[in-house]
Structure 1
Amino acid sequence: MNKVTAADWIGREDVVQARLEPGLAAMMAATLNQPPPQEGDVLPQLWHWAAFPALAAMSELGSDGHPKLGGFLPPIDLPRRMRAGGALRFHRPLHVGERLTAHARISDVVEKSGGTGQMVFVTVQYEISGESGLALSERQDIVYLPMPDTFQPPKAIPVPTDLVIDEAQEMSEALLFRYSACTFNAHRIHYDRTYAAEVEKYPALIVHGPLQATYLIDAAHRYRGMPPSDFKFRSVSPMFHHDTLRVLAEGQEDGSLKMCTATGDTHQNMQATASWEELP
């Protein structure tokens, strides 16, 4: 019998149906200091992540709080797992309480070597439909890494200075807990300081990448007065719960925004691009 490898997971598919109920939308709004949307209102961009949580039983969780591997995602023998980035194309808006269907497919599994050693990237493609048809296409990039002996921050990327957006958001343990609750994310690096320090060797709790992306796309929406049609992002350095998150953006000649989250004036944490295109 041939040995099963992570590459054998390429092509695996999963279909999940859900809806983001008004109660959960109100919880997300409270977490983000926004007015609660009502049933039927347009769902703010990226809030759909709360509609499709990984509903693993407690017995199916690993020691890190993530669902154990070997189901939809491949059983990669690297203990650290996180969202590295992604890209989204928005076709039509979703609405609070709308019936949603997410069709997921693993499109690639790639092994690389970097400064932290062996890395494996798993790419998952999603098509999310509402009651009126396809609403958004999404790519999620998931990275698997070895567990470090000590915390070694990535090389700092300077913060841009020619800005059209410069906003500040205070991070806190309570904020991270609430966002984890809204998205049913039990990864312990976001709420368990002892685990984060002793096991994954972080100096503090980690601010969720999806939370940073949500602040970025919301700022882009407010700046242009309309939601982006395309948004892509990637994490370049961890942000911690005691930091002040800055949302920064530079205007581009094509009308897009080159964006990032940053820790003070020292370095970038997540890079992103928001762009607008006339949709049919």
Structure 2
Amino acid sequence: MQSTTRLLRPSRRVAQQITCRAFSTSRPCRQQHASAADAAQRMLENHGKSTIVRRQLIDPNQLAKLAFTLGRPNVSGVAVSDDSVLPAGTPVPPGYHLVYFTPGGVEADLGPDGTDRSFNAPAPFSRRMWAGGAMEWKSGEALKVGDEVEERTRLISATPKTSKSTGAGMVLVEVEKELWSPRGLAVVDRRSWIFRPAITEADLREAKPPPFQSSSDTVSTVSDTQGSDGLIRHFNWSPVGLFRFSALTFNGHKIHYNDDWTHRVESYAGLVVHGPLNLINLLNYWQDAHGTATGHVVQNIQYRAVSPIYAGQPYQVRSKGERTTEAGETKWDVVVEKNGKPCMVAEIQ
């Protein structure tokens, strides 16, 4: 079985947003950049030629629980409820595979920020941030409830970078996952993470941004309005909603549920809405706004995280335009934004 992944090119687009000037006049910055280069090289040496293979059953419970968390009444047109089971053969919607093949291991194996360390950069680059990626769905090969699926994961690249704002070294890591169903290759999923240096005592003493103020009784909401360019979907996630998504994806990253860690250590203004959650919502939006009415089916998506969204913060997903390429391909630009500023941008074909 041979995969075709040439359509997936997130690395250059992500790297262009993160690539920074080398600081040749500052000795500390040169040392940090060298450390990032060493960490990247160690990752390539340790993981560059290996493939991790895992197998899992696509069970209906995960899909139903995700639908509940998203506030959606059905999965692929099949109603979800606590007194029924999604039947075998129900297709897994685009992006919903993210609730399968979730991190394993005991708690002692996790990083200090609660993240799975399977492909984490070595110390001191222990703070992970979702940067973007790409997904491709093979025509006619959707994952289905009841499938026994094989996941093949390998390291694509590990690249040293330098922060524009601080001059600190970072490591950009790209991983590719192939999901093989009994019918063949179904999904190719590339993910990009940035790993920043561990927090020091000096960092903890620095002034932090004021916390984002949101009501403690906020309930997650989703609603639609019609704008001049079409459907606009509005979201506001509560801490409970983020916790349920973390639990469903077995994601221990503290920035999604631990206020003290999020603000004091990571210097975020509030609990951070998951990048994968925004990605799934973005794909659902495209299907509802464009796919169902026209019969289009998503083939691939390239996306990039730009800025964080916090629990209790209203934001929107909307289309920015549709175009046809010289090759006859139809593409949409879709954006996740708050207060008119992009938080995640995507191109869907």
Query: Which TM-score band applies after superposition, normalised by the shorter structure?
Result: 0.7 to 0.9
Question: Which one-letter code corresponds to 2:181 in the other structure?
Answer: G
TM-score between both structures, scaled by the size of structure 2:
0.71
* Residue correspondence of structure 1 range 57-76 to structure 2 within 5 A: 57-67=106-116, 69=117, 71-76=118-123
Which residue does 1:157 correspond to in 2? Answer: none
Report the Cα distance in structure 1 between the residues aligned to 2:42 and 2:228, rounded to whole angstroms: 47
Question: Which one-letter code corresponds to 2:334 in the other structure?
Answer: M
Report the Cα distance in structure 2 between the residues aligned to 1:151 and 1:6, rounded to whole angstroms: 32
**Deviation at residue 145 of structure 1 after TM alignment:** 1.3
Report the Cα distance in structure 1 between the residues aligned to 2:130 and 2:231, rounded to whole angstroms: 25
Contact conserved, 1:12 with 1:72, CA < 8 A, in 2?
A: no
Question: Which one-letter code corresponds to 1:224 in the other structure?
Answer: G
User: Which aligned segments of 4 or more residues in structure 1 are displaced greater than 6 angstroms?
Assistant: none
Report the Cα distance in structure 1 between the residues aligned to 2:52 and 2:150, rounded to whole angstroms: 10
Question: Which one-letter code corresponds to 2:94 in the other structure?
Answer: Q
In structure 2, the CA distance between the partners of 1:12 and 1:169, relative to structure 1 (3 Å rule), is same
Structure with larger Rg: 2
In structure 2, the CA distance between the partners of 1:98 and 1:151, relative to structure 1 (3 Å rule), is farther
In structure 2, the CA distance between the partners of 1:12 and 1:76, relative to structure 1 (3 Å rule), is farther
Report the Cα distance in structure 2 between the residues aligned to 1:57 and 1:165, rounded to whole angstroms: 43
Could you tell me which runs of 5 or more consecutive residues in structure 1 were left unpaired when the two chains were aligned.
Answer: 153-160, 276-280
Report the Cα distance in structure 2 between the residues aligned to 1:246 and 1:203, rounded to whole angstroms: 19
Which residue does 2:13 correspond to in 1? Answer: none
Report the Cα distance in structure 1 between the residues aligned to 2:94 and 2:274, rounded to whole angstroms: 16
In the alignment of these two chains, the number of paired residues is 264
In structure 2, the CA distance between the partners of 1:271 and 1:131, relative to structure 1 (3 Å rule), is same
Contact conserved, 2:112 with 2:126, CA < 8 A, in 1?
A: no
User: What percent identity do the matched residue pairs reach?
Assistant: 27
TM-score between both structures, scaled by the size of structure 1:
0.87
- In the TM superposition, what whole-angstrom CA distance separates every residue of 1:53-82 from its partner, at most 9, and x where no partner exists? 110201212221113x3x454424213102
Which residue does 1:224 correspond to in 2? Answer: 291
Matched, 1:262 2:337: yes
Report the Cα distance in structure 2 between the residues aligned to 1:74 and 1:119, rounded to whole angstroms: 9
> Please, what is the CA RMSD of the aligned residues?
2.3
**Deviation at residue 245 of structure 1 after TM alignment:** 2.4
Could you tell me which runs of 5 or more consecutive residues in structure 2 were left unpaired when the two chains were aligned.
Answer: 1-38, 76-85, 210-226, 325-329
* Residue correspondence of structure 1 range 1-280 to structure 2 within 5 A: 5-8=42-45, 9-37=47-75, 38-39=86-87, 40-67=89-116, 69=117, 71-91=118-138, 92-115=141-164, 116=166, 117-146=168-197, 147=199, 149=206, 163-222=229-288, 223-225=290-292, 226-254=296-324, 255-265=330-340, 267-275=341-349
- In the TM superposition, what whole-angstrom CA distance separates every residue of 1:132-161 from its partner, at most 9, and x where no partner exists? 110011211111013465568xxxxxxxx9
Contact conserved, 1:76 with 1:144, CA < 8 A, in 2?
A: no
- In the TM superposition, what whole-angstrom CA distance separates every residue of 1:234-253 from its partner, at most 9, and x where no partner exists? 10101111111200112222
In structure 2, the CA distance between the partners of 1:50 and 1:217, relative to structure 1 (3 Å rule), is same
Secondary structure in structure 1 of the residue aligned to 2:323? coil
Contact conserved, 1:108 with 1:123, CA < 8 A, in 2?
A: yes
**Deviation at residue 114 of structure 1 after TM alignment:** 2.4
Report the Cα distance in structure 2 between the residues aligned to 1:114 and 1:192, rounded to whole angstroms: 25
- In the TM superposition, what whole-angstrom CA distance separates every residue of 1:101-158 from its partner, at most 9, and x where no partner exists? 1101101110011224212111111111112110011211111013465568xxxxxx
Question: Which one-letter code corresponds to 1:210 in the other structure?
Answer: P
Report the Cα distance in structure 2 between the residues aligned to 1:97 and 1:195, rounded to whole angstroms: 39
Question: Which one-letter code corresponds to 1:136 in the other structure?
Answer: V
In structure 2, the CA distance between the partners of 1:72 and 1:268, relative to structure 1 (3 Å rule), is closer
Question: Which one-letter code corresponds to 1:242 in the other structure?
Answer: G
